[in-house]
């Protein structure tokens, strides 16, 4: 019964607090740098309803969370999973490098992290969801994306992008 109640509360939160519309521009996989953030409003597989977000690690792969654990994709493979992907970059290059290093370490320490969207942002690293990975990575680099409470749960990925620490790289897709 608790799981059903939690699911209903989550759905109500997303319905009541709909994020703003994002005009996503598809990124060029060759343009990624460590610490870049990739957001898709709706995905084909991993995030059918609420959007998905990932961070580029030090090896220029995209780290994100799926129910099976943490996953790293080549940028081309990540791009193919979603209809549109918005590409964001930190204003400070050092911030991107530090956040990417944290994400890389997180991946190596917890590759099979449990997937739970109700996990608090400051909660244990072995329980993850896509937004939490990106938030924790930037928080470790000294940036609180979205100025969120460390105790926030079930945070929509779009809330991380409403921040002065990231700027969008706008490139039109040639698809």
* 133 touches 113 (CB < 8 A): no
* 71 touches 38 (CB < 8 A): no
Helix (H) or strand (E) holding 80: helix 75-80
Neighbours of 120 (CB within 10 A): 16
pLDDT tens by residue, 59-96: 999 999 999 999 999 998 998 888 888 999 999 999 99
pLDDT tens by residue, 108-150: 999 999 999 999 999 999 999 999 999 999 999 999 999 999 9
pTM comes to 0.80
CATH 3.40.50.800 fits 2-169, yes or no: no
User: What are the structural domain ranges in the chain?
Assistant: 2-169
CA distances from 66 to 20, 21, 132, 167, 173 (A): 24, 24, 12, 25, 26
Pairwise CA distance, residues 169 & 128, whole Å? 27
């Amino acid at each position: 019964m608790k799981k059903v109640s939690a699911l209903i509360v989550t759905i109500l939160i997303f319905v009541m607090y709909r994020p703003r519309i994002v005009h996503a521009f598809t990124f060029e996989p060759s343009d990624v740098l460590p610490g870049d953030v990739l957001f898709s409003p709706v995905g084909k597989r991993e995030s059918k309803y609420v959007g998905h977000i990932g961070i580029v690690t030090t090896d220029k792969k995209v780290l994100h969370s799926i129910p099976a654990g943490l996953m790293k994709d080549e940028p081309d493979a990540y791009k193919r999973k979603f209809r549109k992907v918005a590409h964001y970059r930190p204003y400070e290059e050092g911030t991107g490098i530090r956040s990417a290093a944290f994400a890389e370490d997180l991946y190596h320490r917890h590759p099979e992290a449990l997937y739970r969207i109700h996990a608090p942002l400051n909660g244990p690293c072995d329980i993850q969801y896509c937004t939490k990975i990106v938030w924790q990575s930037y928080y470790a680099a000294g940036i609180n994306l979205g100025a969120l409470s460390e105790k926030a749960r079930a945070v929509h990925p779009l809330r991380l992008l409403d921040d002065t620490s990231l700027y969008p790289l706008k490139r039109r897709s040639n698809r």
